[in-house]
Amino acid sequence: MPDGPAAAYHRVVVQQRVVVVGAGVMGAWTARWLQRRGMAVILVDQYSPGSSLASSGGETRVTRSGHGSDDYYPLWQRHALGQWRELEQAAHRRLFVETGVLWLAHRDDGFEAESFPTLKRLGIPVERLAHPEVANRWPQIGSDDLEWALFEPEGGALMAREGVAAVADLFRAEGGTLLHDRVMPPIQTDGADGRLHRLRTSAGSELAADRFVLAAGPWLLKLLIGLLDDVLEVTRQEYVYLASPPGDARFDASHLPTWVDYDRAFYGVPSIAGRGLKIAPDYAGPAVDPDTQDRRISDRIVDLARAFARVRFPGIADQPVAEGRVCQYEATPDTNFIIDRHPMWENAWVVGGGSGHGFKHGPSIGEYVSALVSGDEAAAAQLAPPDDRFALRPRERVLGMRTSGTMSEWPGLPGSAGLPGSVASGH
């Protein structure tokens, strides 16, 4: 939107403090935490919280402690899970289903083997299961190709769409302002003095505040033009739900854990509320524009999911597709989040890069960002990582905190040899 006289805009002034752009899991929890700190907060989003067009939409997200040899993320996840459970009580909604999380290990030196001693050292409940134990406890899982499995009994599934909506509802109920509008890219001259003073929206409003948090998910690339081109990737992701056989509860959350096949780049969630078994290929899809991509699932993803199910869940592989979803990840090359001050505006923070990996951490992210924005150095230091993993800087591509990101080692899947390798995507 071109600049114009101030009188041409309807001015919405935040008297004390903060505009948060983006009502996904990161933005919504940040707004709630800032509000808890006594700040006046406007949370603005172009869609409703939990929209199916956003990365925080959809029915479920995995929450698990296993993060390889890293100590930091498991503690953040446990801290966040406590807040998700508190939100359940406050919102009177079921937002967490404790299915447990089963990591399917194909070797003794993989991601699962790194996670096991880390979780034990941190005092997080975890079990190492030999192959026969997996077959005995969950005979509906095809396990002939597995070496062993790591089981987190206190992990499970978060209700994604409902969870984000619950955070936003409480934010509003406690006095926060939720604005339905699209924020336009900031005008460079507005920050000539090193501070951002206002944001304009597509509806012609002007948002003026002392501080800003930019947490627009896959729309960050469009909001901060040129700033994140080498740091953030927005890719198309598809997954399907296969219907449980009639009268068969083996694939329901009461009988099957949430699962991750790290080396095969698949993950999934058992059937919750009769939706069917979620099967998600977990390699990075093609780059997309979140405003224009078509969200119809492809036949190829259905074929991949069925081929995987014939190996891993043969009892459901030929069942009808109950539904499918298309969303987008906005991820960094090393799978760590972006939580940093804007390089030009000292009163603005950029928060993102969390797709797939970030949902479960949402409350911890919001708490940490609120400490940074409010200048609470003690609280920020308690939540901060031991390194610069969240810095807004170029990143090297590495296999990170999600899955291997490639199915090239599994020739049984149709077309798998042509899938991209060494690309971490997520759950």
- Amino acid (one-letter) located at 120: K
Q: Mean pLDDT across the stretch 270-296?
A: 94
Q: Please tell me the predicted confidence (pLDDT) of residue 406.
A: 58
Does the pLDDT value for residue 345 go beyond 90?
yes
Does the pLDDT value for residue 103 go beyond 50?
yes
Q: Identify the band that residue 189 occupies on the pLDDT scale cut at 50, 70 and 90.
A: low
Q: Mean pLDDT across the stretch 197-226?
A: 95
Q: Please tell me the predicted confidence (pLDDT) of residue 21.
A: 98
Query: Which of 85-89, 162-166, 289-293, 355-359 comes out lowest in average pLDDT?
Result: 355-359
The closest alpha carbon to 234, from 141, 317, 125, 353, belongs to 353
Q: Please tell me the predicted confidence (pLDDT) of residue 17.
A: 86
Q: Mean pLDDT across the stretch 245-259?
A: 98
Q: Mean pLDDT across the stretch 157-162?
A: 97
Q: Which residues contact 275 (CB under 8 A, 6 or more apart)?
A: 59, 241, 322, 323
The CA distance from 417 to 408, in Å, is 5
- Amino acid (one-letter) located at 285: G
The CA distance from 264 to 403, in Å, is 8
Three-state SS for 67?
A: strand
306 contacts 318 by C-beta, under 8 angstroms = yes
3-state per-residue secondary structure call for 258-277:
EEEEHHHCEEEECECCCCCE
Encoding tokens for residue 96? 């967490």
> What percentage of residues in the chain have a pLDDT greater than 90?
82
Q: Mean pLDDT across the stretch 125-132?
A: 97
Q: Identify the band that residue 407 occupies on the pLDDT scale cut at 50, 70 and 90.
A: low
- Alpha carbon 12 to its chain's center: 30
Q: Please tell me the predicted confidence (pLDDT) of residue 240.
A: 97
What rounded mean pLDDT belongs to the chain?
A: 90
- Angle at which helix 160-173 crosses helix 72-91, to 10 degrees, equals 60
Name the more confident of 401 and 164. Answer: 164
The CA distance from 358 to 354, in Å, is 4
Does the pLDDT value for residue 427 go beyond 80?
no
> What percentage of residues in the chain have a pLDDT greater than 70?
90
Q: Which whole-number Å values give the CA distances from 118 to 59, 114, 124, in the listed order?
A: 30, 7, 9
| Ordered domains of the chain (ranges, CATH) | 10-99+156-232+332-395 (3.50.50.60), 100-155+234-329+402-418 (3.30.9.10)
The closest alpha carbon to 355, from 6, 124, 21, 57, belongs to 57
Three-state SS for 13?
A: strand
pLDDT digits (tens, 9 = 90+) for 62-101: 999 999 999 999 999 999 999 999 999 999 999 999 999 9
